[in-house]
Amino acid sequence: MKTAKELIAKLLNMLGIDNEQEFCNKYDVVYGTLQSWKFRNSIPYELILDICKKNNIRLESVFYDEIAPVRDVISVRYYQDISASAGYGVINCDEQCSEIVLDKSFAKELLNVNNAKNIDIIKIYGDSMEPFVHSGEFVVVERNKNDFNRIKDGEIVIININGDIYCKKILKNPYTKEITLSSLNSFYPDFKINEEDFENTKIIGVVSKAISIKDFERAFIKINN
C-alpha cells in the first residue's frame, strides 16, 4: 500500500491540482496538517473518501496502480456524517451514506456476517459503552432488527430518541411497559423510556460487533464509489 506522501501526490495529480497549497485551499485543510500527514505517514481516509465521492474517482485507483478484480463481494453502508453517542446523545441531520464493497471472506472476518444486505457502519462518540466500544471506533448495525418485540433483553442497540442518536444496552421490564437504556461505563446513569414516549423513539438496529479504527482502515482500502 502507498505511503501518505505518495497517496497525496497521486490524488493531487488525479484532481489536476498543481500544488499542495492549492489543494489545502480548495478542501479546507490546514497546510501544516497536510505536512504532518506526510511526515507521520498518517492517511486521512475520510477526507480521501469524501474527495473521491465528490469527484467520481474510484478509490482503488488512488490506493493501487492496478486494480485486482474482486469476484465475490458484498456491500455495506457507511454513514460518514452520522454518529451515535455513547454518552448523552448526538443530533444527526445528514443521512447520506457511502457504499463499502468487501469480499465476502473479509466481511465475514471483520463484520461477523454472511449477508450484509441490512448492515450499516456508524461511528461512536463518547466513553459510556467502554470497554465494548471506545470513542472514535465503529459499530456494525443490523438494520433488520429494529422492532421492540424482536430485540432481546440485554442487546446493544442504536436508538433515536427525539432526534438524538444513542448507542446503549437495552433492558426490558417484563412487568411494566417501559425499557431502560443502560451504559456499560458505570459513570453514566441509566434512563427509562415509558410507553407514552415510544412514539418519539425509534430503534435503528442491533449492534452486532464493534470495529477498531485499525480494522476499519483495513476495510477502507476495499471501498468502491
Q: Could you report the per-residue pLDDT of 185-195, keeping only the tens digit for each?
A: 888 888 888 87
Mean pLDDT of the chain: 78
Q: Is the peptide bond before 69 cis (omega within 30 degrees of 0)?
A: no
Q: What is the pTM of this model?
A: 0.61
- C-beta separation of 127 from 191 below 8 A: no
Provide the grid cell at 37. Answer: 500527514
- C-beta separation of 70 from 25 below 8 A: no
Domains of the chain: 4-67 (no CATH), 73-216 (2.10.109.10)
In sequence order, which residues have a C-beta less than 8 Å from that of residue 203 and are 6 or more positions away?
A: 146, 147, 148, 151, 157, 158, 159, 160, 170
Q: Assess whether pLDDT exceeds 60 at residue 55.
A: yes
> Which residue has 465521492 as its cell numbers?
53
The amino acid sitting at 209 is K
Q: Assess whether pLDDT exceeds 90 at residue 35.
A: yes
Q: Tell me which of 34 and 174 has the higher pLDDT.
A: 34
- Over residues 163-190, the pLDDT tens digits come to 788 889 999 887 777 889 899 988 888 8
- C-beta separation of 112 from 209 below 8 A: yes
